[in-house]
Amino acid sequence: MKSAVIQLPGLNRDRDMIAALTKISGQAPVTVWQTETELPEVDLIVIPGGFSYGDYLRCGAIAARMPVMKAVAEKAAKGVLVIGVCNGFQILLEAGLLPGALMRNASLKFVCREVKLQVANANTAFTRAYAPGQIIRCPVAHHDGNFFAAPETLARIEGEGQVAFRYAEGTNPNGSINDIAGIVNGAGNVLGLMPHPENLVEAAHGGTDGRALFESVLGRAA
Amino acid sequence: MIKARVIVTLKNGVLDPQGKAIEGALRGLSFSDIGSVRQGKVFDLELEGADKAKAEAELKEMCERLLANTVIENYSISIT
């Protein structure tokens, strides 16, 4: 599987993502800087987490207007798989590639802990290696992960099975509406999620529950 | 030179935890007659030229494309 990791000033989880992708796919991803206007031919594009542009204006707002995001949007329109994790999720929302918005955590606190996630839709390109309804462990680390969508948008997301992951067992860390932790776009090729599956992919991490997300993609790309 | 002020506020019905926290702090300072507090943002801009209609159209586009996230925020523009 060929993959690309987008890099922007302030993103700091790119190393973890590169390590996870390299370990699981057996091939190191290409890294692409924010000023690039074209992306190489890849099966998967990942926007990792961090604090792009210091979270100025709104989380992900400045990053979403950088040249590389136009290239990401063009690839996404052609059906290339795209994953945004944490700040990457915020960037995808700000770029209009996913519906809704992420707001300040209801607690107003930065949360850094492990949560439980339920695989709400195991029939996506990113979740097919999980069992439907499976509960997995996953770490979160964010200040603005409180998912919000207007009622009509939320009804569409829920009705079309676009919710990929939900916080489970009372572990919603941020006040997200309907416990939403991750969503896909209408076409099903763009995923955004607040938790960090790349940080739970080998025994040394204390668990491997995040691995199946990448293996789902690997299965499709193979 | 045209000077403009853009105010961005959360839409009604969108939870504003920061506004709630400020509201609580104000009550703590004995401002007991507070109804509610909503937090927003102010942008002061200076634009070249003197065409106010053109400036207003540009400011609207700036709001739609960057200054506001219209999923959760409203904006208002005033030119002075």
Strand A3-7 and strand A44-47: the pairing is parallel
Measured between beta carbons, the chain B residues lying within 8 angstroms of A106 are: 15, 17
Q: Please compute the mean of the pLDDT values over residues A170-195 and round it to a whole number.
A: 98
| Total of domains in chain A | 1
Instruction: Test B15 with A103 for CB contact under 8 angstroms.
Output: yes
Catalytic residue set of A: 86, 196, 198
Instruction: Test A108 with B72 for CB contact under 8 angstroms.
Output: no
For the cut 80, the answer to whether the pLDDT of residue A33 exceeds it is yes
B2-79 belongs to which CATH class? alpha beta
Measured between beta carbons, the chain B residues lying within 8 angstroms of A99 are: 71
Measured between beta carbons, the chain A residues lying within 8 angstroms of B71 are: 93, 99-101, 148-150, 153
Domain ranges of chain B: 2-79
Q: Please compute the mean of the pLDDT values over residues A137-165 and round it to a whole number.
A: 97
Q: Which domain holds residue A72?
A: 3-221
CA–CA distance, A143 with A29 (Å, rounded to integer):
28
Q: Within an 8 Å CB–CB cutoff, is residue A94 touching chain B? A: yes
Structural element, H or E, at residue B46: strand B40-47
**Mean pLDDT, rounded, of chain B:** 95
Beta strands in chain A (DSSP E): 3-7, 30-33, 44-47, 81-85, 101-103, 111-119, 135-142, 146-148, 163-168, 180-184, 190-193
Confidence of residue A74 (pLDDT cuts 50, 70, 90): very high
The tens digit of pLDDT for each residue in A156-174 reads 999 999 999 999 999 999 9
Helix, strand and coil content of chain A, in percent to the nearest 5, comes to: 30, 25, 45
Q: How much is the pTM?
A: 0.94
The CATH code of the domain that includes A167 is 3.40.50.880
Strand B2-10 and strand B73-79: the pairing is antiparallel
The tens digit of pLDDT for each residue in A5-21 reads 999 999 999 999 999 99
The tens digit of pLDDT for each residue in B28-75 reads 999 989 999 999 999 999 999 999 999 999 999 999 999 999 999 999
Structural element, H or E, at residue B6: strand B2-10
CB atoms within 10 A of CB A104: 20
CA–CA distance, A11 with B1 (Å, rounded to integer):
37
CA–CA distance, A120 with A182 (Å, rounded to integer):
9
pLDDT of residue A220: 66
Burial degree of A208 (CB within 10 A; 0-12, 13-18, 19+): middle
The sign of the torsion formed by the CA atoms of A32, A34, A40, A44 equals positive
